[in-house]
A and B are shown apart, each in its own frame.
Chain A
Amino acid sequence: MSTPDADAPIATTGLTKRYGATVALDSLDLSVRAGEVYGYLGPNGAGKTTTIRLLLGLHRASAGQARLFGLDAFADALSAHRRVAYVAGEPYLWPSLSAEDTLRYLGRLHGSIDVAYRDQLVRRFELDVAKKVRSLSKGNRQKVQLVAALATRADLLLLDEPTAGLDPLMEMEFRACVQEARERGQTVFLSSHILSEVEALCDRVGILRRGRLVEEGTLAEMRHLAAVSVEVTFAGPAPMIPALAGVTASSVGPNAARFEVHGPVGPLIAALGGHEIVSLTSREPSLEEIFLNQYDDETRRRDG
């Protein structure tokens, strides 16, 4: 295995965070490559926001290390932040500032923003910038954060549930923006509960549970993890199929059987070869099923 790139946008080793007795993050090893869109998934309380806070140096790690572009996330936070933009999980801003001034303020703090792109984003997200943040709806406040972050064109975007509260049209706009960022070579770290969003945007996905990374891979790899379900109806009573590695069989009627196949389907097809088959359907699991499987303790215990 190759060592992660020393200047990778995100690299953590053994990253651990305890709040009193709660272990929010348990020895996390994470590496996000330049230019990729990384989906960060997990049930409520899994430690997603904690990870982002540690990456931003807002909280201090109890153990382990977090690096952004090779810079220590806590000690060199200032240099790291010049290359980072952040959208917080909850749109808390300065209530008495107008949206316009908020954008200007955050832009100045960041140092460099693409003003033309910002103005374009304001139009695309249909933001009324003259309004005070106090009087904006939750979704509109979220848009202020989004526009501020995207307009920086930062090398790394850390997005914590960025579309919570956005309407479907705006969600589409957001996806387009992430695609644009990807095309420009920006790296995106996207924590989300919206599976379709992750499926549409992400090159790679990590699933966090109780502070541990339980699964990681490309979407294709994720699909391979789950079983393909093959249902066969025979002309006569279902025959005995000899045990095959990676295949579990169950009966679904007098003439029908279901096979859950992990890995290649070839051996099963070969074994079915001598029998008269009326119908055969095979179904790939949806991403949703894969994710739900990973989220749900009960299923995991049953399957495990």
Chain B
Amino acid sequence: MGETLRARERPWSLGVVMARRATRDGAVRTLVFAVVFGLYAWLQAFGYRGAYPSLADRLAFAGAFAHNDALRLFYGYPYDVVTVGGYCAWRVGGTLSIAAAVFGVMSAVRALRAEEDAGRAELVLAGAVRRSHYFLAAVLSVLLGALALGAGELGGYLAGGLALGPSMYAALATALVVPVFAGLGALASQLAPTRRGALALSLGGVGTFWLARMVADTWAPAAWLRTITPLGWAESMRPFAGSRADFALPSLALSGLTLLGAGVVARTRDVGVGLAAPRDRARSHRGWLGGPTRQYVLVARGSLAAWATGFGVFAFVLGMVSTSISSAGVSPELRRQLQSLGLGSVFTPGGYLAFVFVVFIVALTYFVSAQMAAARQEEADQALETLLAQPVDRRRWLLGRQLVAALGSLGLAGEVGLLAWLGAATRGANVSLGQMLEAGANTLPTAILFLGLASLLYALVPRASSAVSYALASVAFLWYVVGSLLHVPRWLVDATPYVHVGYVPAEAFRPVPAFVMLGAGLLTGVAATLCLARRDLLSA
């Protein structure tokens, strides 16, 4: 007989093979995150140095702006903003730790649950593989991802001219967020009935911890909350601003505990089934089966409700903190500089809300991307084949999906206007419902534009479309954040739609760009249906 394979491979080498497989599966996403981390860190360091060259500028900035409660929602608590490093720790660390949390959750669920739901884990575990080694290999791949993110951030700081030691510490503070949330994702992967359930559960966890940090950072009596949220620990490590390495301990301890717990469950749990078994029976939903669009709403009702909840909570909290803005002591010079940072008149509740509503535009571009990604998923799962073998027109099918995305955006835009107003009203802020609804409506044209683009991408390059749509939405926003800090030609700065959106209600609604965006969205959307009508359906 021929050669035998290396019959008794050492468990370790098998583990390495599995870890390599898991790492390669998520490599593209990890790379994209790492590059974005690097670019963001570099651009903030670079931009701050350019915008506030002297200590006096920075002190003025610190006094009037950094200690503004409302901005802490996004960036966290500023410990020191008069040095480039301190500013970066605030602006970069605060934002990137949220991104790191999302990354940790997504990669853990991918490595620990998606493989099972796809049936691939069964194949691997049918081999001479120990469960614990399989689990460890998955965890190892996530930790390698954390390392990559940290390296990206470090590279950015170094390129931005910051010192090696403190930069490494700052990158570590962010990277430590990954295993904590990977632990959360790993636990959710053991509990939830499905991959989607695990993802929703743990993303809900990210949202809750973020909310806790927001409240802690903006409302002095609740500052203690910072000590119980992992995002607060990252902040409390105070990179570039009087390092407190002891705050790494709770992160390490919690990661260890959650991962250990998940590992223990994973050793005995049925592969592909969560501890909380899914309901295997469903009530009938007659009314929702009349056509593909209604059926989609039925199937996606859980995720649509989650979007609505997230938007609503966020809008309400933003409304509440909008009253803590004060313009006392802000010089006209500083105002001008803030303008150059893209942070114009933010010192009134209305002005502040007008500014932060940009966040809802970003979220809506992700929402429409997610809707098109769901359309693609139906095709990849081949359910679309069964559907289109019926007398169902492809163009109408896509149009239905676009309609859900557009009406969903409309609903979310109205919701954030209403709830932001309500939040502000509870604190007696002087903004009207009409103003806030207008601010909500102002987020729509950009969303429609991205809906058109995402559908066109879906029709033209189905397999890459989801990733490219999310990337496009992210790049458009990041370019808006940093484009104006850099000395590049005007038209290049203007290439992102965000530049053309007015800060409503602080500024007037800008009808021309809005209609251009709406028109472009409609055109690309129609083009998408026509392109889809001409191509082969492609499974995963």
**Chain A residues with a Cβ under 8 A of chain B:** 53, 56-60, 77-79, 81-82, 84-86, 88, 90, 92-94, 96-98, 100-101, 104-106, 108-111, 130-132, 134-135, 145, 158
CB-CB under 8 A from B385, the residues of chain A are: 53, 56, 58, 88, 92
Q: Are B535 and A60 in contact (CB under 8 A)?
A: yes
Known contacts: A56-B389, A78-B393, A101-B285. The answer to whether A92 contacts B382 by CB under 8 A is yes
CB-CB under 8 A from B13, the residues of chain A are: none
Contact-residue bracket for chain B: 20 to 34
Secondary structure class of chain A's binding surface, majority of residues = mixed
Known contacts: A58-B537, A94-B299. The answer to whether A111 contacts B391 by CB under 8 A is yes
Q: Are B295 and A88 in contact (CB under 8 A)?
A: no
B385-418 interface (Cβ within 8 A of A): 385-393
B285-310: CB near A (< 8 Å → 1, else 0) gives: 11001111001001100000000000
Min CB–CB distance B454 → chain A (angstroms):
22
CB-CB under 8 A from B535, the residues of chain A are: 60
Question: How long is the Cα–Cα vector from A96 to B292 in the complex, in angstroms?
Answer: 15
CB-CB under 8 A from B295, the residues of chain A are: 94, 97, 105
Partner of A130, one of B281, B285, B383, B388: B281
Question: How long is the Cα–Cα vector from A104 to B387 in the complex, in angstroms?
Answer: 13
B145-187: CB near A (< 8 Å → 1, else 0) gives: 0000000000000000000000000000000000000000000
CB-CB under 8 A from B393, the residues of chain A are: 78
Using a Cβ cutoff of 8 Å, how many contacts connect chains A and B? 97
Q: Are A96 and B282 in contact (CB under 8 A)?
A: yes
Min CB–CB distance B107 → chain A (angstroms):
23
Secondary structure class of chain B's binding surface, majority of residues = loop
The 5 closest A-B pairs by CB, nearest first: A135-B280, A86-B389, A109-B390, A92-B382, A59-B536
Question: How long is the Cα–Cα vector from A82 to B390 in the complex, in angstroms?
Answer: 7
Min CB–CB distance B49 → chain A (angstroms):
51
Q: Are A92 and B381 in contact (CB under 8 A)?
A: yes
Q: Are A98 and B278 in contact (CB under 8 A)?
A: no
Q: Are A101 and B382 in contact (CB under 8 A)?
A: no
CB-CB under 8 A from B386, the residues of chain A are: 86, 88, 92-93, 106, 145
Q: Are A101 and B390 in contact (CB under 8 A)?
A: no
Min CB–CB distance B458 → chain A (angstroms):
16
Q: B487 an interface residue at 8 Å Cβ cutoff? A: no
Q: List 8 A-B contacts (CB under 8 A).
A: A59-B536, A84-B389, A92-B382, A92-B383, A96-B282, A97-B295, A132-B281, A135-B278
CB-CB under 8 A from A110, the residues of chain B are: 390-391
CB-CB under 8 A from B278, the residues of chain A are: 132, 134-135
Q: B6 an interface residue at 8 Å Cβ cutoff? A: no
Q: B268 an interface residue at 8 Å Cβ cutoff? A: no
CB-CB under 8 A from A94, the residues of chain B are: 295, 299, 383
Min CB–CB distance B433 → chain A (angstroms):
37
Known contacts: A59-B537, A60-B536, A96-B299. The answer to whether A81 contacts B282 by CB under 8 A is no
Known contacts: A96-B282, A135-B280. The answer to whether A78 contacts B382 by CB under 8 A is no
CB-CB under 8 A from B389, the residues of chain A are: 56, 58, 81, 84-86, 88, 158
CB-CB under 8 A from A98, the residues of chain B are: 281-284
Q: B8 an interface residue at 8 Å Cβ cutoff? A: no
Question: How long is the Cα–Cα vector from A102 to B302 in the complex, in angstroms?
Answer: 19
Q: B534 an interface residue at 8 Å Cβ cutoff? A: yes
Known contacts: A58-B389, A59-B536, A97-B299. The answer to whether A131 contacts B281 by CB under 8 A is yes
Min CB–CB distance A250 → chain B (angstroms):
34
